[in-house]
Amino acid sequence: DKELFGKMVSYSWPVLVANLSFVVNENLDKMIINQLGVSEYNLGVYGAVCKIAVFLSLFITAFRLGAEPFFFSHAKSANARQTYATILNYFVIALAVIFVGLIANIDILKHFIDSEYWVGLNAVPFLLLGYVFLGIYVNLSIWYKLSDQTKFGLYISVIGAVTTIVLNILLVPKYGYMGSAWVSMLACFVMMLISYVLGQK
């Protein structure tokens, strides 16, 4: 069915490119940090503390896999908006609880990485807060998927990728891996904010 296939491609290719941009946001800092004058040791420190923050990332991924089919199946319900808002409220509460729980138990979680990398633990709260913003963005982003305007997901992800690239180049040479942690948080915040504003419109 050429017409159906055309609609599918038109809907899905921006999502594909957006996901590629998402991969850039997630991994570019680790790929270029060494090119910006940061030592191999500090790169190792940053990679190690990112492993602690990944606990929150796993929760967000699990939520997305379960929630998106639900969102689509309830799109035509009379109270769909209220349902989505309620889900977001509880999702943010869950993110906040996990965020606080991870930070409060950092003395336990730090044993998942080598003790020589514990010096970088002060970057963990920023990485975790970035994942909180990312989780909210994932929840908010359902508006452009339900309205067949996936191009906006592409735009938002590209803006996030550009933010990641530019701020890493500006901050990493001066602040090292802490600069990357701040950039990770800020890029996710920018994506969340843009998605919220556009979603309201």
Residue-wise pLDDT for 53-64, tens only, equals 888 888 888 888
Q: What's the pTM value of the predicted model, to 2 decimals? A: 0.85
- Residue 130 pLDDT: 92
Tokens representing residue 8 in the block: 């599918």
Residue 74's identity, in one-letter code, is H
Query: What's the mean per-residue pLDDT of the chain?
Result: 86
Distances (CA, A) of 37 to 33, 164, 165, 169, 175: 7, 17, 15, 10, 10
State the pLDDT confidence band at 103, using cuts at 50, 70 and 90: very high
Q: Tell me: the pLDDT tens digits for 144-186?
A: 888 878 888 888 888 988 898 899 889 888 888 898 899 989 9
| Residue 165 to residue 183: CA distance in whole angstroms | 9
| Residue 156 to residue 183: CA distance in whole angstroms | 16
Name the residue with tokens 């910006």.
Answer: 36
SS3 78: coil
- Residue 41 pLDDT: 82
- Residue 191 pLDDT: 92
Q: Which residue has the higher pLDDT, 201 or 95?
A: 95
DSSP 86: H
Q: Is the dihedral of CA 144, 147, 57, 20 positive or negative?
A: negative
